[in-house]
Amino acid sequence: MMASGYSTKEEDGHITVSGPGGGALRGKKPENTAFKQQRLPAWQPILTAGTVLPAFFIIGLIFIPIGIGLYVTSNNIKEFENNVFMYYGLSNFYQNHRRYVKSRDDSQLNGDLQSLKTPSKECEPYAEHDNKPIAPCGAIANSMFNDTLELFYNDPNGTKVPIPLTATGIAWWTDKHVKFRNPGENANLTAVFQGTMKPVNWRKPVYELDSDPQNNGFINEDFIVWMRTAALPTFRKLYRIIHKKNNMVPTLPRGNYTLEVVYNYPVRSFEGRKRMILSTISWMGGKNPFLGIAYITVGSVCFFLGVVLLIIHHKYGNRNNSADISN
């Protein structure tokens, strides 16, 4: 009975193993370099009371005034005489669900003819219907908000005056001109979408969303706004703009108004609620107190922690120093 022998030697950081057959196997030891052996110079911050406490107080002193300013500005938005923006709001609607967010075909929405005929598998089960491709495909498009909102001013003489609502200018410029395009560009949309099916829950096909060719098909701004999914289950989306006429006449005069809703969008199935919001804007955008509250909260917590750590340092810091000296 013969015993097989192995011999090893180290070359340039590697281990060469010689076996009985005369072959050589290279080991997995990393090369003997500063990078691979983790001998590079490093810097590690040393957290002391002299560095941590000032940081907490500075953050608190900066964040709290900014938060108060943002919060007050948000609450005073109604005092500005700007254009009035009409929003629709939904509650308990989870547009941030992972599968829901992925259920779309960006190539199709960007006007790709191949994707129009063969939608992405991400759109399942809303990719095809009756063996025809759905345009636009996916769960996001299929659940598009389709209530119709109309606003009327109740004139004291008894007549209802319709408030003109602008349906364009409500989407992001990059969405309107970059991310969303109609297939065939300036081609006839009815012909381009021939052979496709409308989403299952839609009442009319995508090429009949608006009579204006610059606001129809995939570049319809109501559709584009809906396709930008919300991060939270309670959200609002811009629906219309009420433009200010001149500086002498308020955008919406004081008085009574009537909101007429064509109810198409059911919400009871997911225990949701719908609402309409009228708002002006300020230098920081629409009314949203969250950012101000966040700044105030972070600043207050940092300031509180700074005070607590300062007390602890003042009470126990000298004791630890004296103990080290005595040792």
Which residues, other chains included, contact 183 with Cβ-Cβ below 8 Å and sequence gap of 6+?
111, 112, 113, 116, 192, 193, 218
Q: What is the mean pLDDT of the chain?
A: 85
Kindly report which listed range (40-44, 195-199, 204-208) carries the lowest average pLDDT score: 40-44
Asked whether residue 212 falls in the same domain as residue 299, the answer is no
Q: What does the pLDDT read at residue 37?
A: 83
Task: Give the residue-averaged pLDDT of 57-80.
Answer: 77
Task: Give the residue-averaged pLDDT of 196-205.
Answer: 95
Q: What does the pLDDT read at residue 316?
A: 78
Q: What does the pLDDT read at residue 242?
A: 92
Phi, psi angles (nearest 5°) of residue 43: -120, 130
Asked whether residue 132 falls in the same domain as residue 190, the answer is yes
In a domain, 275, yes or no: yes
Q: What does the block give as tokens for 122?
A: 């991400």
pLDDT in tens, 156-178: 898 999 999 999 999 999 999 99
Phi, psi angles (nearest 5°) of residue 169: 85, 10
DSSP characters for 57-91? HHHHHHHHHHHHHHHHHHHTGGGS-S-EEEEEEEE
Asked whether residue 152 falls in the same domain as residue 182, the answer is yes
Q: Is 148 exposed, middle or buried (0-12, 13-18, 19+ CB in 10 A)?
A: exposed
Domain span at 108: 81-280
Kindly report which listed range (160-164, 177-181, 280-284) carries the lowest average pLDDT score: 280-284
d(CA 84, CA 77): 11
Can you count the helices (H) and strands (E) in the chain?
9, 11
Asked whether residue 155 falls in the same domain as residue 66, the answer is no
Asked whether residue 190 falls in the same domain as residue 301, the answer is no
Considering 27-41, 198-212, 278-292, the range whose residues carry the highest mean pLDDT is: 198-212
pLDDT in tens, 99-137: 999 999 999 999 999 999 999 999 999 999 999 999 999
Q: What does the pLDDT read at residue 16?
A: 54
Asked whether residue 276 falls in the same domain as residue 288, the answer is no
DSSP characters for 155-224? -TTSPEEEPP-B-SS-S-HHIIIII---TTTTS-HHHHTTT-B--TT-SS-GGGS-SSGGGSGGG-HHHH
In a domain, 32, yes or no: no
Assign 322 a pLDDT band (cuts: 50, 70, 90). low
What's the angle, vertex CA 179, arms to CA 117 and CA 96, rounded to 5?
90
Which residues, other chains included, contact 152 with Cβ-Cβ below 8 Å and sequence gap of 6+?
160, 161, 162, 163, 257, 258, 259, 260
**C-beta neighbour count of 86 within 10 angstroms:** 20
Asked whether residue 65 falls in the same domain as residue 167, the answer is no
Q: What does the pLDDT read at residue 81?
A: 45
Q: What does the pLDDT read at residue 263?
A: 93
Asked whether residue 225 falls in the same domain as residue 306, the answer is no
Q: Which amino acid is at 228?
A: R
In a domain, 85, yes or no: yes
Residue 280 has pLDDT above 70, yes or no: yes
Asked whether residue 57 falls in the same domain as residue 86, the answer is no
In a domain, 171, yes or no: yes
Task: Give the residue-averaged pLDDT of 43-68.
Answer: 84
- Three-class secondary structure of residue 240 per DSSP: strand
Residue 186 has pLDDT above 90, yes or no: no
The pLDDT > 70 percentage for the chain reads 83
In a domain, 142, yes or no: yes
Count of the separate structural domains present in the chain: 2
Asked whether residue 56 falls in the same domain as residue 85, the answer is no
The pLDDT > 90 percentage for the chain reads 54
For tokens 């192995």, the residue is 6
pLDDT in tens, 223-269: 999 999 999 999 999 999 998 887 667 788 889 999 999 999 999 99
Residue 298 has pLDDT above 70, yes or no: yes
Kindly report which listed range (56-65, 74-83, 145-154, 268-277) carries the lowest average pLDDT score: 74-83
Q: Is 137 exposed, middle or buried (0-12, 13-18, 19+ CB in 10 A)?
A: buried
Assign 57 a pLDDT band (cuts: 50, 70, 90). confident
Asked whether residue 234 falls in the same domain as residue 288, the answer is no
Whether residue 17 contacts residue 25, with contact meaning beta carbons closer than 8 Å, is answered with yes
Asked whether residue 57 falls in the same domain as residue 119, the answer is no
For tokens 């560095």, the residue is 51
- Three-class secondary structure of residue 238 per DSSP: strand
d(CA 217, CA 187): 11
In a domain, 325, yes or no: no
pLDDT in tens, 1-31: 444 454 545 544 455 555 555 555 556 778 8
In a domain, 47, yes or no: no
Q: What does the pLDDT read at residue 25?
A: 52
In a domain, 208, yes or no: yes
Q: 315 or 286, which is more confident?
A: 315
